[in-house]
Chain A
Amino acid sequence: MSSFKLAVAALLVLTASTPASSQAIEGKTPKGIAYRYQRVAAGENVAVYFGWRYGSANEVMERALLSYVVPAMTFGAGGESKDAIDRKLRELQVTWGTYSPLERTIGGFATFERPKLDQVAPLLAQIVQKPNYTAKDLDDRYKKVLIPAREKFNREPLNQLQFVQFALNLPDFADRSRWAPLSEAGIKSPSREKLIEWHNAALGRNNLIVSVAGNLSEGDAGSFVDRVFGALPSVPEPPPLPEPTYKALNKVIKIERNVPQVYVRLYGVLERDDDPIKTAALVIALGAFGNGNESNLYKALREELGAAYSTSAGSFAISPHLNLMLATVQLDPEKAAVAIERLREEYRMLLEKGIDEATVKHETDRLLAPTNQQSGLVARIATNNLAIALRGLPVNAPAEIRKAYMNILTEQINELIMEHMPKATTLVVMAPASIMIKADCTIKSYSDTAKCGF
C-alpha cells in the first residue's frame, strides 16, 4: 500500500545519475518483451522494475486486485509455501516489492546482486508465473496489513486534501484512482480463483515493460528478462487509458477538522510535452517557487511570517499526458489566513514576473549536482526508466532534460512559465472551524465534496 506523498516529477531523479552510468537503451527481448536497460558501471547491485498495462475492469475489483496481485505473488509459488519462498528470497538476498506508478498499470521490483543472477531468475520466474495465492495468506494480508493501512491512509490529512482535489478537478478519476479513498471493498481480497484468473488473463509478456539497471551487459539483462517473464502468455492488448479531463477551478475549499496545524495544498495541471526545454523550465520554476530554503515560499512563509517550518512544490504524473502540480505547506493556525493569501500572491508573482537569473543558476546547480548517494542509485535509475517507458516518453528523455538544464536561458524559462504554468489553481485547506479561512466551499469531510456543486 503506498502512502500518499508529494512525488516530484520522476524526471527530476535523472539529475541524480552519476557519470558512472551510461545512457538508457530500449529494445525487445527474443520473446518480445519490451525493456529499458541502463548500465551502471560500479557495484554489484541489479534492479529490475516491471509493469504491466492492463485494460478496464470493475473499479472496485481493480483496487482490490492492486492490493494483492503483485504483493501476494511471494505468498507461495509453484507449490512451495510462503515460508519457503521467503527463505529462498532471503538466502539469495533478493528484495521484492510493488511499484505501480500510473493508472491501469500494475508492477513491482526485485533487487539483488549480480553474481546471483542465475539463481534469482528461476525463483522469480516461479513467483511471477505460478503464484499460489493461498486463501489463508490472502486473508492474513487483508486483516493484518490492509485493514490498518486503509484506516491510516484515509485519515491522513494530506491524503484527504488529495481526495477532495481529485473529486473536483479529476472527476473521471475520482472514484477509482489509486489516489482516491480506500473503500472496504477495495481492500477485501478477491477469491483465490479470481486472482489466478485475472493473473492469467491480464499479465502477459506483450503488455509488459521491464526496466533493468546494474553492472551487467544488455545481453545478460535481456536474457534475464526472458527467463523470468518469457513464459507468460500473450494477452489481448489493453486499450489505451483515456486521458482524464482536468476541470480547472479557481476555488478555495476548506475541510473543517480539528487539526493542530492548517494543511494547505495548491493544485494545478501541467500538460506533458515531449519538449525537454519546457519540462526543464517547469521543474526549475516549481523548485524556485516552493522547494528548499532558497525558494520564494520558504522565504515568505517561514522567514518573513514565521508561519511554516517547511514548504515543498513539485509535480507528479497522473496519466501518460498529465502532470499534477502541487505546493504543500503546513501552517501556524494563527497565521494561516495571512499565509494562504501570501502563498497565492507568490504564485501570482511567479506567473507575472517569472524568476531571475540568480535563482535559475541556483536551481540548475542543485539539479545538476552530482550525488554522493551511490546506495539506491541503481534502483532509482531502473524506476525512472520504467516510469518514462510507461508514459511513452523516448528513452533518451532524461539525457535531453539534463542537457536542457545546462543550456536553458532565464528568458526561455520565464516565457514558458507564462505560457504553461496553470492560471487556474485549486486550493484545498484543512483547518479547525475556529480558524477563519476565506473559502468558496466549506465541508466537514472529504466525502462531502459533491456538496460544493462546482
Chain B
Amino acid sequence: MTSAVGSMMVFATSPISPGGSDAAVLKRTRVGGAFLAFVLSALLIFLLGAAEAPALNAKLSNGVVLQTVHPAGAAEVAIRLLVPVGGRDDPRGREGLAHYVEHLLTADPGPLSPASSDGALRLSAHGYANAYTWPTATVYVMNIGQDSLESALSLLAERLSRLAASDTVAERERRIVQQEYYLRYGDNPGLRLLAQLRTKIGRTNPMLGWNMGTPDSIRSFDLSIAQVFFDRWYRPETMTLVLSGPLDIENAQEVAERTIGVIPPRPAVLRDAGPVPPVPAPVVLERDDPDAAVPMVLRNLFVRAAAGPASKVIGEHAAMLALQYLLAGSNESFEGVLARLRDSRSDLHSIDAEITRLDRRWLVLGMSVEADPAASQNAIASLVTKRLASLTERDVPDRLISEIRDLADRTWIAAEDAPNADEVVDWLRLGFSLNERSQLRAALISLKKKDVVAFAHKVAKPDTSATGFLRPSK
C-alpha cells in the first residue's frame, strides 16, 4: 500500500519476439471467439515454433477491459487491476484521499474483524498482494500460482465491489497512512519541503499535486468521505484487468467474467466536467531546517506535453526518454550532462535530475542539488535549466542515438510481447493506449539529435515550477 511520488520513468525493454517479421505479422489481439481464426493462428504458431501466444483483449459484461500478457517462462500469474483514479482526483484539502481509499480496500481487518467473519481471507491469502497509488491511477497487485486464479480474482472483486471497512478499521488505516507518510518522508527534510511545495501547487492543478497527502490532510480523512470518493470513482467500466503469465486464454476470460465481471456498476461521472485547471503560478519556499545536513535546492519543473496526433505525443515521449539518458549518462558508454555539470564546479556536491511523464498532458523535471553554503542558491536553482537551454547537437553523443536505436529494437509493441504485466500497466496509467505502443518504437528509431535538443530547450522553459531552498539550521 504505497503512494508513488511523481511517476516512474518507463523504459520499456524486453526481447523482441523470436521469429522476426513473420511472427510479428501474426501477432493480432484476439477478440471474441472466432474459432477459425484461432485454429489458423494456433497452427501457424505451432509451425513457427517459439512465437508467443496471442494476447486477449476483451470487455467483460460490466465494462472491465481484460488484457492478457504472455511472457515466456513465467512461473506465476500476475494480476494487475488498474483503476484510473489517483492523486489528481483528490479533492482540494483532502490530498492523499485516493491513497487512503486504496488502503481501506486492501486492508485486512485482522484482529479487528468481527467474530462472525473469522474466515475473512487476507488479500495475500493466495500469494503476494499490494497496491500503489499514482497521480493518474491506482493499481491493485497480486502474484499467485496458476491454480489460485479464480480464488484470487474473486477475493479482489469482493474487495473492490464495496467499501466494507468498519469505522475502527478506517481509523486504524488513517493512522497507518500517517505513519507511512512519516516513514517515507518524515526524516527527510528535502522531501518534506517538496511535499509542501507540491501540495501548494496542486491546489490549483491537482495533477501536479502530491499523492500521499500531508499530515494535515491525512488527519481529516474518515470513512464517510472515503465512501463518497469510492462511490464516485470505482466504476468497473473504467477499470482494466491485466493478467500475465501461464494462462489458458479462454479459461482466463471465463474466470474473469465470473469474478471481476461481477463488480457492480455505479452511476457514471464525467471526469472532465468543468474547465481545465489553469496552469498554476510558480511556487517558491525557503526553509531553515535543523534536520537538513547540507544546503539543498529542490525544483520540480512542469512542462505541458505536446498535444495533437498520437505521433506527435509519442515522438515527444521518445525525446523525453533520450533526454533522460543524456542527463544521467550511461555507466556503460558516456558521461551524463549532470555529472559534467557537477564536476565543473567546485561548490557543488551532487546533482540529481530526472524527467518523467505525469500523464498525457504533463511532464516533470525533478531536480535536487547539494552545494556549499557559500554558493548562490539562485544560481544553483537555474543551473540545470541554463544548461538545457544551451544544449546543442554537439552535446548529444552518437552513442546516445545508437543506444536509443537499441532500445527501440527491444521495445515491445504489442501486449503479447510485453515482458510482464507491470510494463503494460505503466504504459496505460500514463494515459496511452496499447494501440499507440507501436508508435513508440517508430519514434525511437527515427529520433534525431535535433529532436533531443529541441525538447531540452522546451524543458528549459517550463510552464510552471515549484522551487525550495533548504538550509541547515542549528
Contact = CB atoms under 8 A, between A and B. Distances in A.
B350 A148 contact: yes
A293 B175 CA distance: 17
Contact of A306 (B172, B186, B342, B348): B172
Interface in B327-367: 330-335, 342, 346, 348-350
Interface stretch (A88-96, A185-193, A217-225): A88-96
Interface in B394-420: none
Given A157-B187, A303-B110, 4 more contacts: A87-B335, A259-B187, A303-B172, A330-B182
B183 A310 contact: yes
Contacts of A309: 176, 179-180, 183
B370 A148 contact: yes
Contacts of B335: 86-87, 90
A235 interface: no
Nearest to B187: A157
What are the 7 tightest A-B residue pairs by CB atom distance, in nearest-first order? Answer: A303-B110, A151-B293, A306-B172, A93-B332, A309-B179, A304-B111, A309-B180
A306 B183 contact: no
Nearest to A300: B111
A91 B112 contact: no
A90 B108 contact: no
Contact of B349 (A86, A95, A145, A302): A145
Contacts of A155: 291, 293
A274 B268 CA distance: 64
A155 B172 CA distance: 30
A98 B341 CA distance: 25
B75 A372 contact: yes
A184 interface: no
Interface string B154-195: 000000000000000001110110111011001100000000
A303 B112 contact: yes
Contacts of B111: 299, 303-304
A261 B348 contact: no
Contact of B183 (A93, A148, A330): A330
Interface in A135-165: 140, 143-145, 147-148, 151-152, 155-157
A27 interface: no
Contact of A332 (B175, B294, B331, B348): B175
16 contacts: A90-B333, A93-B332, A93-B333, A147-B294, A147-B349, A148-B349, A148-B350, A155-B293, A157-B187, A260-B187, A304-B111, A304-B112, A309-B183, A310-B183, A330-B182, A332-B179
Interface of A: 86-87, 90-91, 93, 95, 140, 143-145, 147-148, 151-152, 155-157, 259-261, 293-294, 299, 302-304, 306-310, 330-332, 335, 370, 372
A90 B182 contact: no
A144 B179 contact: no
B176 A144 contact: no
Given A304-B110, A304-B112, A307-B175, A90 B294 contact: no
Nearest to A293: B124
B192 to A, nearest CB: 9
Chain A CB within 10 Å — which of B111, B122, B332 has the most?
A: B332
B104 to A, nearest CB: 13
Contacts of A330: 179, 182-183, 186
Given A90-B334, A95-B331, A261 B293 contact: no
A308 B177 CA distance: 9
A93 B175 contact: no
Contacts of A332: 175, 178-179
A425 to B, nearest CB: 23
B110 to A, nearest CB: 3
B166 to A, nearest CB: 12
Interface string B443-474: 00000000000000000000000000000100
A306 B175 contact: yes
Contact of A331 (B108, B171, B179, B370): B179
Contacts of B108: 293, 303
Interface string B236-278: 0000000000000000000000000000000000000000000
Contacts of B182: 260-261, 330
Nearest to A155: B293
A140 B347 CA distance: 10
A86 B343 CA distance: 13
A186 B412 CA distance: 50
A90 B472 CA distance: 36
Interface in B97-119: 108-112
Given A145-B349, A306-B175, A261 B110 contact: no
Contacts of A143: 346, 349
Contacts of B75: 370, 372
Contact of A261 (B112, B173, B179, B370): B179
B186 A260 contact: yes
Interface in B212-230: 215
A393 to B, nearest CB: 31
A306 B165 CA distance: 14
